Amino acid sequence: MVNKITVVGAGNVGATAAQRIAEKELARTVVMVDVADGIPQGKGLDQWESAPIELFDSRVVGTTGYEETAGSDIVVITAGIARKPGMSRDDLLNTNAGIVKSVAEQVAKTSPNAILIIVSNPLDVMCYVAMKASGFPRERVIGMAGVLDTARYRSFLAMELDVSVRDIQAMVLGGHGDTMVPLISYTTVSGIPITQLMSKGKLDPIVDRARNGGAEIVKYLKTGSAYYAPSSGAVQMVEAIVRDQKRILPCSAWLQGEYGMKDVYLGVPIKLGRKGMEQIIEVSLTADERAALEKSAQAVREPMAVVKL
């Protein structure tokens, strides 16, 4: 347990993440910040009132300012507008960039030693914005990308094979968008290569569904986007840091030569511990996977080049 974790944004993703952080007792105090007066205070109070039933002692508070967030160990940034049907993650670019820039600047003043976990979309570019605005080193600005994408991929495989999700090991790299790269060569079921259990004809549609997992939910909801799985992904990262678990998870990281790429945020396997990103792990890729990863990096570089900082 750490002393304080802040979640910026009290919408569906932020509020769900705050509740899960509290229920896991990852911090003594969980602070929710939002510009909409009354929303974070009301949701925070509601969550705290669930404590006697769910049996957690993490105090949840809501606020519209950053004074109560001072000294946070971890800050999860979910603030920004959500996607609507027909919108890509990149359509959110400059609106959310302005929001994330302001948040990162505030956090840098009040919690200069915090680790930032970015959830706002378009995710990889928002990581870049947060790193530049905060001035934090890359080890302390990490994006929740592949954790969610991998969870979707694993869930679809479990449905198709009718097996437990616990037995499916997989990893999705690349940008958090339509160019993400599920690694078929590293996908196994209890160590059995997925290609021994499923034909290419069945596997390819699952890979495509994973790539479009967020858009599928947006289409169903019509007025919002996914939040249960995204909040779970963010909290898995928070828990790995708080408990110094040294988890190997696919997250968006600032590459400085790894995978032959430089100055770009991209989803890659990293080791997460109490200091944040402790190591970027380079795995061998097939020629097709490497080509797909480079294509994904280019898809991130293009909006990075035009984002207004």
Q: Supply φ then ψ for residue 228, to 5 degrees.
A: -65, -55
What is the Cα–Cα distance from 97 to 200, expressed in whole angstroms?
39
Is 149 annotated in the active site? no
Partners of 116 in the β-ladder? 75, 141
DSSP calls for 56-96: ---EEEEESSSGGGTT-SEEEE--SPPP-TT--GGGGHHHH
Q: Supply φ then ψ for residue 59, to 5 degrees.
A: -80, 125
* Sequence letter at residue 93: L
Helix segments in the chain, DSSP class H = 12-23, 39-48, 51-54, 93-110, 123-134, 146-161, 200-211, 213-221, 228-242, 287-306
The catalytically annotated residue of 152, 176, 271, 301 is 176
Of 276, 235, 242, 250, the C-alpha closest to 7 is: 235
What is the Cα–Cα distance from 289 to 294, expressed in whole angstroms?
9
HSE value, Cβ hemisphere, 13 Å, CA-based, for 209: 15
Mode of pairing for the β-strands spanning 141-143 and 115-118: parallel
Per the CB < 8 A criterion, the answer to whether 83 and 92 are in contact is yes
Question: Which residues, other chains included, contact 135 with Cβ-Cβ below 8 Å and sequence gap of 6+?
Answer: 108
- Residues annotated as catalytic (active site), given as ranges: 176
